[in-house]
Amino acid sequence: MQPHPTPMAQFLDEFDASLLEGSVPLRVFNDPEILDGELERIFTRAWVFIGHESEIPARGDYVQRRIGRDPFVLVRSDDGEVRVLFDACRHRGAMVCRAERGNAALFRCPYHGWTYKNTGEFAGAPFFRAAYGSELDKSEWGLYAAPHTEILHGFVFASLDPDAPTLEEYLGDMKWYLDLLWGQCKDGWEVIGDPQRFVVEADWKSGADNFCGDDYHTFYLHRSTIEIGVMDGVKRGDSTENLQGYHVQAGNGHAISHFLVPPEVPGPRFWGYPPEVAERFTPDKLGQERYELAKHSIGSVGTVFPNFSFLAFPLRHSRKEGPVSTMVIRCFQPRGPAEMEIWAWVICPKGTPEEYRRKTYRTSMGTFSAGGTFEQDDSEPWIAQARTAGTAYGRKLGMELNYKMGLKGAASATRVDDFAGPGVAFYPVLEDGVHRGFHRRWVQFMREGGYPSAMTPEQQNASAGEARSNGDG
């Protein structure tokens, strides 16, 4: 006899089916049971962004980090390896790292004094012989480390699942776009300062979903920001000309919204980096074709499933100055039901002249930071979304949200089969397929069973809106 599906399994089946019709249940944006499932099934399995190598340049450098709500230490150990250590003492479980950042050869637990090398290995304990004699095998009592850590263009990712695929497999086609963003810089990238962290009373998915490519909100929610001239080259009024970009479902729940300037249009290239910065860019790692695409790129926003996002646009800090290329990266960290902590870093190509570094930092703080114009605009409706998701009446209604834009026959966006990059591309950006792909991957991770396999082209097509023409994928 078949066992009865659990209420959660049934909910996930219904959600998966409803996505093909462009619906997302409001409930997922504020629900303790769903959050518990996410922490257990997404954050202890998926590859997540931990930090950038430039935050820990020297041996012994460390920074405190989180995976889901769990504490970790990102450290460059004395052997030169970058490690992601679980910050939980093996004796009674207290945290051993008590500073946000620093340099240390050893981590000593404040409770009873058990001490670990910066490789995570057990180094010693008070009264060791008297307390444990020869009974304790030191090699077995080191800190736990993330079973997988990989670095891409200096960006450190980790997965807590021994069965996880390689980072490259996990990223799928998204790697092509991360290479496009970061591979052109011959000296690599670096963070400017510490990540800014701030709590928003909203679900973490509101941010991750938005950065998949919610261009639809840009010229409405951010109208006042745009009217004061922060974004350059925006057409006045309600012109859809501002939405002439590409949406790409890059597979496995990852997505990017990408804007190009036509080759004949003079002006910013390489996301607006000026010649004194762009002189460090080369086609060596990208190949000439992708390098040409980078040359003509003016804006990108995207999400690597589950909660790592990026944004690159030339933005203006003041009317007196020209636009400044702004590249920000961020994690939307779950903290509780309807509560997340946003971690936001500003990055720039290594070797960027000091004056431009200062400008890009200032522009980022003025736009995508706790006090930034865009950020404040965005946070409010995300908070409101979590609030309505928690309403008794919303629950009673089983309210569904509209993710129908771009479903076959429902919009002007059409599939572009000859787009320069891989994945399922649409033009223009008035379509929700990027969001549906994200939520479809979410459902796959939330299900019981083994590590979710890569999304098939059929599943991607279905999320892209082809479901009505060629059946379920």
Tell me which residues touch ligand FES (CB under 6 A). Answer: 89, 91-92, 94, 109, 111-114
Contact between 11 and 5 under an 8 Å Cβ cutoff? The reply is no
CA 226 to CA 232: how far, in whole Å? Answer: 8
| Number of Cβ atoms within 10 Å of the Cβ of 336 | 13
Output 32 or 113, the one with its CB closest to ligand FES.
113
Interacting partner of 109 out of Fe ion, ligand FES, none (Cβ under 5 to 8 A depending on kind): ligand FES
- Upper half-sphere CA count for residue 53 (Cβ side, 13 Å): 15
Residue 114 near which of ligand FES, Fe ion, none (CB within 5-8 Å, type-dependent)? ligand FES
Q: Report the C-alpha gap between 108 and 116 in whole angstroms.
A: 6
Residue 220 contact partner, candidates ligand FES, Fe ion, none, CB within 5 to 8 A by sort of partner: none
Indicate which of Fe ion, ligand FES, none lies near residue 61 (CB less than 5 to 8 Å, by partner kind).
Answer: none
Tell me whether residue 207 or residue 465 sits nearer to Fe ion (CB atom).
Answer: 207
CB of 99 to ligand FES, least distance (A): 16
Residue 273 site contact among ligand FES, Fe ion, none (CB < 5 to 8 Å, cut-off depends on kind) = none
**Least distance from C-beta 217 to Fe ion, angstroms?**
6
* C-beta closer to Fe ion: residue 87 or 209: 209
Q: How far is the CB of 126 from ligand FES (least distance, A)?
A: 8
CB-based burial, 108-141: b 16+ in 10 Å, e otherwise:
bbeeeebbbbbbbebbebeeeeeeeeeeeeeeeb
Contact 414, 230 (CB under 8 A): no
Q: Say whether residue 378 binds Fe ion (CB under 5 A).
A: yes
CB 276 within 8 A of CB 356: yes
378 binds, among Fe ion, ligand FES, none (CB under 5 to 8 A by kind): Fe ion
Q: Nearest CA to 429 among 246, 157, 295?
A: 246
Alpha-carbon distances of 200 from 197, 213, 337, rounded to whole Å: 10, 20, 11
User: Nearest approach, Cβ of 311 to Fe ion (angstroms)?
Assistant: 9
Nearer to ligand FES, 102 or 110 (CB): 110
Which value, in Å, is the radius of gyration of the alpha carbons in the chain? 23
The nearest distance, CB 91 to ligand FES, in angstroms, is 3
Closer by beta carbon to ligand FES, 126 or else 471: 126
| Binding characters for Fe ion, 338-377, by CB under 5 A (x = yes) | ----------------------------------------
Residue 197, beta-bridge partner list:
343
**Site residues (CB under 5 A) for Fe ion?**
378
